[in-house]
Chain A
């Protein structure tokens, strides 16, 4: 068990059994993020929408 800093402060969590692996241990970097945190980046990079387009869709309640 480790304490982990998150967006919600430090949280105590149980680590994965697979964390005991020599080369590529499983790991926890964050526990939950606020809704739509990466919207602008992901929509820009993978869908090709500009921030203003994202806002427009947000305004319509689509995303």
Chain B
């Protein structure tokens, strides 16, 4: 694990006392300015192999290059700043895309514009004992998708890849 910045800046008569966690992914070999997640004080640090080689030195009035990943206040019941709080901690870049929210996305066409099947609900197969054919009659089961596909075919814009 990397070194941390324990901010001791007096703010409003009290010590800030915030632990700013510097994750190895960004800070392992790094030189630059980091802000404190609570009071916003900007510190210069130079980190080598996860150890604080220089700093933290206060740089009042300067802008930070990066924010810590996460911060908490261990002396005040571990109140924490989670990743992704604008201006305090680093934006969490791995946030799921809007479509990955657990809600089924019933696409009717693949990324190259050909019809897919298998969205729900689906009618029963009407075969004996669950038997399915080797064909999904899209024209009969989803006429609207079939029509749209026909239009796409006619438009000539459909790509092979």
Contact = CB atoms under 8 A, between A and B. Distances in A.
Indicate if A touches B (C-beta under 8 A): yes
Interface of A: 40-41, 44, 51, 54
Given A51-B135, A54-B135, 7 more contacts: A40-B133, A40-B134, A40-B135, A41-B134, A44-B134, A51-B134, A51-B136
Contacts of B133: 40
Instruction: Tell me the dominant secondary structure on chain A's binding face.
Output: helix
Interface size class of B (residues with CB under 8 A): under 10
Contacts, number: 9
A12 B135 CA distance: 33
A23 to B, nearest CB: 29
Nearest to B114: A52
A40 B136 CA distance: 10
Contacts of B134: 40-41, 44, 51
Nearest to A37: B133
Contacts of B136: 51
Contacts of A40: 133-135
Contacts of A44: 134
Nearest to A41: B134
Interface in B125-155: 133-136
A43 B134 CA distance: 10
Interface string B84-124: 00000000000000000000000000000000000000000
